[in-house]
């Protein structure tokens, strides 16, 4: 038995940490929480100052027994769960379970899982931070009270299986509000005119800007036609040329929010998958020849701060890789948003010498994509500014009524940080007008053609997962740990659907949101929700008792709840009608939700009790008999693929068949979907064939 026992949350984290320590240390995992509120009851003693009733989680007996056994034999116990409220609470529960004393210095925290940081943290253990624990308890109790009290109302008034939540309900409202804006939007007509001109050897375009020295908005075809008539075959003269240099500062290293946004926008990775890959990169990946290594710092943070050691390492790497001109004279520092917690560093690689190209073969596709984003963003954040030259040319018609046109262009004089990071969704792009010919005041470009275009103003765009995360952060709703699960919850509950990348509220989402707005206006109020987050921060800072925050919330909430039960009418949901007729009575069947997913049912139930499974053909023929392969639902809700002639044909696959034959053995190729990405492989494991896509390497990857 080891003298020192370290308890972490996950086995992969335990494996990574153990390799940095000698034989006197043993590292084991609790696999998350060991105690929590019971699922079968409220679990909060409202009359006893909201005391939570924690129970040992079912199915954790073997893990708990192992922890107790190892703890009994150890001289020193260290609790090394994640460095946030949830992690602090898990350590507190473990300490209670192991009967550790409140004054025991048993808690160690680290922002990155590297040898130096781990060894340093062991030398400076602390007591459990009860303010952090209280903040977590307040959040847990608030969410339990709200969820377990409102859910029965939703089941009674709408349908079973629904839920409400402190953050999910206001998030649903934000999406519903945007959809209403779109529905109510009245488009307005406007026109744009571009003229093609020729100067020197080049054609270029200029856009209409004004008439007779004043701005002139084109809101009708008649106005546009007047400008076209004046400008067609007119003589043109350059009336002014403005050239300016401007600098673009490097972006800050990632916070959780900016990482989720960039991953979604740049590599189409949804928040849930992004956070899973980030967790794996943080806890440790087995790198060929190096063993298990924690590749990034802690991934739940809203800080843009980085350590001096990391900054110095990045600057040295940049100087060697790109040259001294790419290293700013003074190190780059970034200011976090107002209200951001600065407990952890920004998300960055733990070792800048581990370039994405160097370790690509050790990473799953999703891990590689995310690590590359994090790595490049961090390196770019420590690089020099990009310098851009912009040119704006003003061109006038030589007519009685003078039409003014403008052409603009830009070119990069020094690429700076853009040598690594080519800009995200919100960054300026080179507008491609570097081909603008050299012009001076008095030059006379020649008319080539003119193009008027009718346009209409557009409604605000629907939220994507990326833009929703940005909005939640800006409004102060939720924290880095809640963005991803909140979005997943409202989709899973059926309140919101994803159409391509857009988040669209369903009829059910509108109904539940209206019920919440009518009865619990505070809960779905953006400011109230943001203020509640600030209250939780105050508990963490030790400024207020957590029970006071819960009490202040619960008293008016209980009054609203009682009124809602008494006054809210039952909502009749209209069933979704299919195009499949019931073969027994002829009525058009409707879609229903069951234990194992959607199915078709006759609307004349109980007179007609006919039901049918939904046949979902995937467009691939069975390799055994040639019939269609269809997607089916298993007893536990998991999808699989089988021949439509089952049981006469027994072909079945858990992975989606592609219709292609394996070039190695001739069997079916299937689409493998794993948490870190998807790929195509032979359905026969013994064959082992994997179809790999050819990908173009970036110049940076080639250099690396």
> Where are the alpha helices (H) located in 38-129, listed in sequence order?
61-73, 85-97, 115-122
Which residues neighbour 185 within 8 Å (Cβ) at sequence distance 6 or greater?
Answer: 458, 459, 460
Instruction: Please answer whether residues 45 and 60 qualify as being in contact, where contact means their C-beta atoms are separated by less than 8 angstroms.
Output: no
Rounded CA gap, 594 and 280, in Å?
34
**Residues sharing a CB contact under 8 Å with residue 459, sequence separation 6 or more, in sequence order:** 181, 182, 185, 187
Sign of the alpha-carbon dihedral angle for 213, 218, 224, 226: negative
Nearest alpha-carbon partner for 496 in 511, 513, 509, 477: 509
Element (H, E) at 375: helix 365-381
Cβ count within 10 A of residue 421: 22
Residue 171 and residue 513: Cα distance in Å, rounded? 10
Closest CA to 83 of 5, 18, 8: 8
- Cα separation of 243 and 653, whole Å? 64
What are the DSSP calls for 249-300, one per residue? PPPPPB-HHHHHHHHHHHH---HHHHHHHHHHHHH-EEETTTEEE--B--S-
Query: Collapsing DSSP states into helix, strand and coil, what is residue 194?
Result: strand
Which residues, 6+ apart, have CB-to-CB distance to 62 below 8 Å? none
Residue 511, judged by CB atoms within 10 A of its CB (0-12, 13-18, 19+), counts as buried
Tokens of 657: 């068949």
Work out the burial of residue 101: count CB atoms within 10 Å of its CB; fewer than 13 is exposed, 13-18 middle, 19 or more buried: exposed
Cis peptide before 308 (omega within 30 of 0): no
- 298 catalytic, yes or no? yes
CA contacts within 13 A on the Cβ side of 616: 14
Q: Which of 591, 617, 561 has its CA nearest to residue 494?
A: 591
DSSP 3-state of 11: helix
User: Cα(360)–Cα(367) distance, rounded to whole angstroms?
Assistant: 9
* Residue 647 burial (CB count, 10 A): 7
| 542: phi then psi, degrees, rounded to nearest 5 | 80, 20
What is the C-alpha separation between 344 and 300, in angstroms, rounded? Answer: 8
Q: What span, in angstroms and rounded, lies between the C-alpha atoms of 119 and 618?
A: 54
The answer for residues whose C-beta is within 8 angstroms of residue 288's C-beta and 6 or more apart is 359, 361, 362
Six-digit token string for 664: 């190695």
Task: Give the separation between CA 642 and CA 630, rounded to whole angstroms.
Answer: 6
Q: Exposure of 650 by Cβ count < 10 A (0-12 exposed, 13-18 middle, 19+ buried)?
A: exposed
Q: Which of 298, 463, 483, 651 is catalytic?
A: 298
Beta bridge partners of 196: 205, 449
Partner residues linked to 351 by β-bridges? none
DSSP state of 406: E
Would you tell me the crossing angle of helices 85-97 and 61-73 to the nearest 10 degrees? 70
Positions annotated as catalytic residues are 298
């Amino acid at each position: 038995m080891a003298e020192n026992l370290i308890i972490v949350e996950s086995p992969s984290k335990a494996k990574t940490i153990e390799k940095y320590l000698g034989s006197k240390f043993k590292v084991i995992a609790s696999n998350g929480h060991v105690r929590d509120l019971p699922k079968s009851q409220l679990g909060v003693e409202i009359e006893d100052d909201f005391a939570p009733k924690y129970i040992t989680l079912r199915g954790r007996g073997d893990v708990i027994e192992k922890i107790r056994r190892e703890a009994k034999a150890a001289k020193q116990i260290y609790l090394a769960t994640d460095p946030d409220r949830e992690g602090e609470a898990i350590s507190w529960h473990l300490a209670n379970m192991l009967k550790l004393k409140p004054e025991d210095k048993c808690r160690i925290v680290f922002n990155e899982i590297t040898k130096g940081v781990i060894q340093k943290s062991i030398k400076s253990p602390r007591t459990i931070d009860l303010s952090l624990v209280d903040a977590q308890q307040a959040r847990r109790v608030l969410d339990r009270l709200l969820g377990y009290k409102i859910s029965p109302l939703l089941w009674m008034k709408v349908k079973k299986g629904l839920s409400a939540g402190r953050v999910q309900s206001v998030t649903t409202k934000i999406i519903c509000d945007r959809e209403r804006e779109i529905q109510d939007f009245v488009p307005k007509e406007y026109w744009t005119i571009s003229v093609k001109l020729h100067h020197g050897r080049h054609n270029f375009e200029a856009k209409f800007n004004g008439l007779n020295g004043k701005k002139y908005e084109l809101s009708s075809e008649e106005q546009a036609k007047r400008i076209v008539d004046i400008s067609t075959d007119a003589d043109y003269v350059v009336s002014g040329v403005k050239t300016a240099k401007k600098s673009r500062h490097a972006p800050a290293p990632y916070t959780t929010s900016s990482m989720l946004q960039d991953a979604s926008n740049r590599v189409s990775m949804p928040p849930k998958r992004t956070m899973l890959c980030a967790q794996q990169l943080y806890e440790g990946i087995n790198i060929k020849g190096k063993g298990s290594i924690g590749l990034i710092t802690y991934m739940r943070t809203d800080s843009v701060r980085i350590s001096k050691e990391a900054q110095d390492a990045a600057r040295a790497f940049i100087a060697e890789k790109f040259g001294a001109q790419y290293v700013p004279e003074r190190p780059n520092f970034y200011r976090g948003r107002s209200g951001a917690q600065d407990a952890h560093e920004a998300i960055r690689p733990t070792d800048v010498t581990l370039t994405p190209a160097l370790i690509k073969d050790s990473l799953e596709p999703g891990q590689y994509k995310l690590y590359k984003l994090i790595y490049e963003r961090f390196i770019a954040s420590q690089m020099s500014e990009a310098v851009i030259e912009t040119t704006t040319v003003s061109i006038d018609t030589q007519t009685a009524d003078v039409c003014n046109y403008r052409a603009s262009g830009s070119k990069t004089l020094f690429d700076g940080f853009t040598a690594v990071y080519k800009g995200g969704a919100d960054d300026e792009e080179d507008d491609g007008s570097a081909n603008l010919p050299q012009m001076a005041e008095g030059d006379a470009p020649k008319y080539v053609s003119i193009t008027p275009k009718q346009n209409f103003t557009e409604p605000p765009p629907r939220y994507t997962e990326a833009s929703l995360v940005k909005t939640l952060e800006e409004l102060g709703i939720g924290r880095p740990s809640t963005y991803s699960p909140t979005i997943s919850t409202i989709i899973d509950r059926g309140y919101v659907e994803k159409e391509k990348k857009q988040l669209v509220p369903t009829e059910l989402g509108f109904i539940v949101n209206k019920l919440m707005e009518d009865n619990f206006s505070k809960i779905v109020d953006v400011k109230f929700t943001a203020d509640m987050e600030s209250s939780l921060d105050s508990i963490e800072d030790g400024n207020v008792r957590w029970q006071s925050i819960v009490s202040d919330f619960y008293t008016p909430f209980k009054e609203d709840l009682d009124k809602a039960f008494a006054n809210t009418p039952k909502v009749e949901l209209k069933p979704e009608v299919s195009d499949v007729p019931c073969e027994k009575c002829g009525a058009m069947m409707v879609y229903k939700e069951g234990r194992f997913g959607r199915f078709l049912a006759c609307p004349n139930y109980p007179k007609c009790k006919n039901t049918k499974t939904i046949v979902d053909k995937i467009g691939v023929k069975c390799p055994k008999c040639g019939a269609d392969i269809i997607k089916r639902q298993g007893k536990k809700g998991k999808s699989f693929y089988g021949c439509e002639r089952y049981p006469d044909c027994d072909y079945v696959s858990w992975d989606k068949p592609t219709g292609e034959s394996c070039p190695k053995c001739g069997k079916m190729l299937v689409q493998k979907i794993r948490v870190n990405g998807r790929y195509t492989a032979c359905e026969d494991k013994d064959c082992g064939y994997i179809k790999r896509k050819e990908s173009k390497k970036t110049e940076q990857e080639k250099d690396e």
